[in-house]
Structure 1
Amino acid sequence: MNKTQKKMTLFALTWPIFFEIFLHMLMGNADTLMLSQYSDNSVAAVGVSNQILSLIIVMFGFVATGTAILVAQHLGAKEETSAGEISIVSLAVNLIFGLILSISLVFFTEPILASMDLPRSLMDEASSYLKIVGGFAFIQALIMTAGAVMRSYGFTKDAMYITIGMNIINVIGNYLFIFGPFGIPVLGVEGVAISTITSRMIGLTVCIVVIMKRIPGALQVKRLFKLPVAHVKNLLRIGIPSAGEHLSYNGSQMVITYFIASIGTHALTTKVYAQNLMMFIFLFSVAISQGTQILIGHLIGAGEYENAYERCLKSLKIAIIISLIMAGLFSIFADPLLRIFTDNEQIISLGKILIYLTIFLEPGRSFNLVVINSLRAAGDVSFPVYMGILSMWGVSVTLSYILGIWFGLGLIGIWISFIADEWLRGLIMLKRWRSKVWIKKGFVTGKKEIDENKFAHES
């Protein structure tokens, strides 16, 4: 093992990823919690803006996803030079892509928000937040790519520590600009946006320094001028279809948010509060799926296909069990948890029902998170996209309108559509993994041949 790599076990990889994701979610919840003391309308405005930003971040994710898989596979194959080349080109590609999208968000803020059927009372705050955070979205693109590089090398704890620092800076900034101590002007939503960007700028700087220290030679700028075309092709071949599944999900969520906006501001606010709590339920599955992806990438690179197959199934069982336990706990304490954000009884009453429904929702989500990431790591990137598009739009969006709007069930009907979508896709993905079709997708570096007969005999 190269000295720049860390020992790979699921637990060693997953617990820092868990805390990193937890802190990312905490950062978003800190914005929501602090803004809830300022105005429920501000919460709704930022919630809609973040729905748009989530879609943009997913578009950055195609490079980060491709980076994580390619770097892991090359390291598994003991090809450290190629892993370093991919790291630097990925950062350059996402910087260019990030700048294009950031500029677009600044110039088209109002038309984008108007397309979401946002209530007029929320437009000014949503616009201010989207222009500031969206205008610097390229920083998040670079953070995502740098984080993917660190995690693929096994330095998951470093990424976690950086996130801790970003959270501290963000919370301090929120406090200063929302509550205005020491005579500091109260800026509300605009202040939250400024503190978010400041924390990301500092976080990115530290990310780059850590990579240069931990992985010497990985970020040599001169490599940009002599990279094999194959690296870029492989990055796009894996990254673009992988992002397609996320892009479809977030696009469908934007349409569903449009449905919810037509119901009213109370429904929008309830959705934001409920989903903020739900994120803490499924973050275990997210962490397990990311740790599993890294492990399977290394195993595929090393040609250990049977171990990769078993690793996915073991991780899936763990994710399902933990998601059920967490959904049950959050359901028990749904009332006090929602009261952290608001005293509005209408929001709390509806929010509790949505949290109860997560007991049925989250196990289905675990299938998608773990198995889809495993398929990607093995090179089977197109199938999840096709099935995702069919299910998200054919089931989730369609049922959301039929149950939520047509039959008047509101958010409850929309949550039922989420459950149907997650379970349908999840079971199809599990069948795909068990079929072992992914072993025929080949090894991305092109330097190893798959012995399918041997694999079939071992299975």
Structure 2
Amino acid sequence: MLIFNAQSVVGKQLLQGELPSDKTLFTDTLRMAWPTMLESFLTALISLADTIMVGALGSYAIAAVGLTAQPRFLCLTIFFSISTAVSALTARRTGAGNRDEANRTLIQALAITFILALCIGSAAYVCADPILRFAGSQTDTHSHSIIYFRIIIASLVLQAFTLVVNAAQRGAGNTKIAMKTNLVSNAINIIFNFLLIEGRFGFPALGVRGAAIASVLGFAAAFILSTASVLKPDGYLFLFYRNNKLRFDTRILAGLYKVGSGALLEQIFLRVGFFLYAIVVANLGTAAFAAHQIGMIVISISFAVGDGLSLAGITLVGQSLGKKRPDLAKIYGVFCQRMGLVCSLTIALVYSTFGRNIYSLFSSDTIILNYGSIIMKIVAFIVIFQVGQVIGFGCLRGAGDTRYTAVVSLISVAIIRPFSGWLFVYPFNWGLTGAWLGLLLDQFVRFTLTWVRFKKGKWQTIEI
């Protein structure tokens, strides 16, 4: 417990009120963090199981499904930004005791989300062929990628709606709701993967198409559960709270824009950087891309730990600032980061020790296993910086400091990651190893820039 000492965190900063005991602060952080950590971690494990199931069809299937990831996330970009804004604003209003405005923020955000999701989903469905060609699909993966992508993108409204509702619930401190929603959704995904990919218990063997249908069924379950969570009159967030009607409030829209615009830029830079980086790797060939995709699935487990603590950071920092307690916001932010450090060191040890064994769960192909042995050694270093920067980003987002996180994403993800990846892969001729060294450089830069910003404390004075 020595690393969870509140007084050492606050330092010379003047206290704005009574400081709870270290045990209370640690317990509060853990209580908020564990549902989001468990949710993200189990979601990543289920995604890992999903890839193993798809991998039974061959490396072409892993590559085909992997190629759709960045285009899909690119379509979700604006909804990630809306959910960030909703979470930060809901946390502030909850901290300030303004339940009415928290509910009006949610309903207005959902109206915007519904309209945008219909437009973006329709456009992506029609343009699936050129989108996936640009993403780097090969002859043996292109048709399968189109099938998978179109089925997934047809449910964009369900995915976007769930994202925003769950973000609002987390901001209000209801992290268990989002956890239950995602766990049920992912469980349904896995069950129908088992039934539909290779055909079991009388279900047809649909291959890649079956994997996509299973995902959509999971998204539908998540949509139903998240919607049900805001239809309970006794819930903090209730769509019909005080006869809540859809009347756009310029002040609420201004708050959504202030936080959401920065988050949107950040997401655009992230997705563009990820997309360009994926193209660099895709051009190495199907086997290399399959090995890379497995590595990205594995690293998502460590990201899940950071993401869970990041979401907790958004809520704790936002609510503390809503209570006019920047000192508590800093303490909670540091506690989340230190929890992340303990977790990342543990995961790094596992990755460095059992890297090849982990890869063998996905494939018996010697080429892929050889790639995996190298990748996992690099991942062991990536994890430490990755978890730290993800949590730091969450704390800054919770304070509304999304313009800065956007700038960091531009520098690190949109420029450094794809450029260094290309440089190391082709001019330096380091192949797939070079691509992962580029990813390591990106994570290190993001960690450094985020740590410096958090340390200076300017984020504690932002009004939203």
- TM (norm. structure 1) is 0.91
CA distance in 1 between partners of 2:419 and 2:384 (Å): 22
Q: Does 1:27 align with 2:15?
A: no
CA distance in 2 between partners of 1:8 and 1:140 (Å): 32
| Alignment correspondent of 1:106 | 125
SS in 2 for 1:303: coil
The amino acid across from 1:399 in the alignment is S
| Alignment correspondent of 1:339 | 360
1:215-294 matched pairs, under 5 angstroms = 215=235, 218-220=238-240, 223-294=244-315
| Alignment correspondent of 2:10 | none
Q: Does 1:51 align with 2:70?
A: yes
1:263-309: CA deviation from partner (whole Å, max 9, x where unpaired): 11011100111111111123211111110110000000000011212
1:312-331: CA deviation from partner (whole Å, max 9, x where unpaired): 22322221231121011122
| Alignment correspondent of 1:380 | 401
| Alignment correspondent of 2:229 | 210
- Alpha carbons of structure 1 residues 225 and 57: separation in structure 2 relative to 1, 3 Å: closer
> Which of 296, 302, 305 is the equivalent residue of 2:317?
296
> What RMSD over aligned residues (CA atoms) do the two structures have, in Å?
1.8
SS in 2 for 1:187: coil
The amino acid across from 2:284 in the alignment is I
1:162-241 matched pairs, under 5 angstroms = 162-213=181-232, 215=235, 218-220=238-240, 223-241=244-262
SS in 1 for 2:68: helix
| Alignment correspondent of 1:415 | 436
| Alignment correspondent of 2:20 | none
Q: Which runs of 5+ in 2 are unaligned?
A: 1-25
- Name which of structure 1's ranges 367-376 and 339-348 shifts more when overlaid on structure 2: 367-376
- Name which of structure 1's ranges 219-228 and 98-107 shifts more when overlaid on structure 2: 219-228
The amino acid across from 1:370 in the alignment is I
1:390-409 matched pairs, under 5 angstroms = 390-409=411-430
| Alignment correspondent of 1:135 | 154
Identity in percent: 23
SS in 2 for 1:71: helix
CA deviation after TM superposition for structure 1 residue 440, in Å: 3.7
| Alignment correspondent of 1:454 | none
Partners of 1:89 and 1:224 within 8 A in 2? no
The amino acid across from 2:136 in the alignment is D
Q: Does 1:424 align with 2:434?
A: no
Q: Does 1:364 align with 2:385?
A: yes
CA distance in 2 between partners of 1:420 and 1:167 (Å): 32
SS in 2 for 1:142: helix
The amino acid across from 1:76 in the alignment is G
- Alpha carbons of structure 1 residues 359 and 321: separation in structure 2 relative to 1, 3 Å: same
Q: Does 1:436 align with 2:457?
A: yes
| Alignment correspondent of 2:9 | none
CA deviation after TM superposition for structure 1 residue 217, in Å: 6.3
Partners of 2:169 and 2:237 within 8 A in 1? no
1:447-458 matched pairs, under 5 angstroms = none
| Alignment correspondent of 1:317 | 338
CA distance in 1 between partners of 2:202 and 2:391 (Å): 49
CA distance in 1 between partners of 2:47 and 2:130 (Å): 25
CA deviation after TM superposition for structure 1 residue 216, in Å: 5.8
1:411-457: CA deviation from partner (whole Å, max 9, x where unpaired): 2111111111211221122111222222342x21xxxxxxxxxxxxx
1:2-45: CA deviation from partner (whole Å, max 9, x where unpaired): xxxxx992111111111211232233223211111122201100
CA deviation after TM superposition for structure 1 residue 93, in Å: 1.3
- Name which of structure 1's ranges 367-376 and 98-107 shifts more when overlaid on structure 2: 367-376
SS in 1 for 2:141: helix
| Alignment correspondent of 1:87 | 106
Partners of 2:82 and 2:109 within 8 A in 1? yes
Number of residue pairs matched by the alignment: 437
CA distance in 2 between partners of 1:8 and 1:127 (Å): 47
CA deviation after TM superposition for structure 1 residue 69, in Å: 0.3
- Name which of structure 1's ranges 215-224 and 364-373 shifts more when overlaid on structure 2: 215-224
CA distance in 2 between partners of 1:81 and 1:412 (Å): 52
Q: Does 1:148 align with 2:170?
A: no
CA deviation after TM superposition for structure 1 residue 57, in Å: 2.3
CA deviation after TM superposition for structure 1 residue 344, in Å: 0.5
Partners of 1:63 and 1:93 within 8 A in 2? no
| Alignment correspondent of 2:19 | none
| Alignment correspondent of 1:37 | 56
Q: Does 1:121 align with 2:133?
A: no
| Alignment correspondent of 1:456 | none
CA distance in 2 between partners of 1:90 and 1:315 (Å): 28
SS in 1 for 2:283: helix
- TM (norm. structure 2) is 0.90
CA deviation after TM superposition for structure 1 residue 206, in Å: 1.5
CA deviation after TM superposition for structure 1 residue 200, in Å: 1.1
CA distance in 1 between partners of 2:237 and 2:459 (Å): 33
SS in 1 for 2:380: helix
- Alpha carbons of structure 1 residues 425 and 172: separation in structure 2 relative to 1, 3 Å: closer
Partners of 2:79 and 2:113 within 8 A in 1? yes
CA distance in 2 between partners of 1:247 and 1:366 (Å): 21
CA distance in 1 between partners of 2:360 and 2:438 (Å): 26
Partners of 2:309 and 2:391 within 8 A in 1? yes
1:104-156: CA deviation from partner (whole Å, max 9, x where unpaired): 11100001011123111111100000011012112110111111122222222
| Alignment correspondent of 1:77 | 96
The amino acid across from 1:277 in the alignment is V
CA deviation after TM superposition for structure 1 residue 359, in Å: 2.1
CA deviation after TM superposition for structure 1 residue 391, in Å: 2.1
CA distance in 1 between partners of 2:119 and 2:244 (Å): 23
- Name which of structure 1's ranges 225-234 and 336-345 shifts more when overlaid on structure 2: 225-234
Partners of 2:193 and 2:211 within 8 A in 1? yes
Q: Does 1:161 align with 2:180?
A: yes
CA distance in 1 between partners of 2:342 and 2:352 (Å): 16
CA distance in 1 between partners of 2:353 and 2:111 (Å): 47
SS in 2 for 1:263: coil
The amino acid across from 2:287 in the alignment is H
- Alpha carbons of structure 1 residues 328 and 313: separation in structure 2 relative to 1, 3 Å: same
CA distance in 2 between partners of 1:263 and 1:387 (Å): 28
SS in 2 for 1:333: helix
1:236-276: CA deviation from partner (whole Å, max 9, x where unpaired): 21012113223212211111111111111011100111111
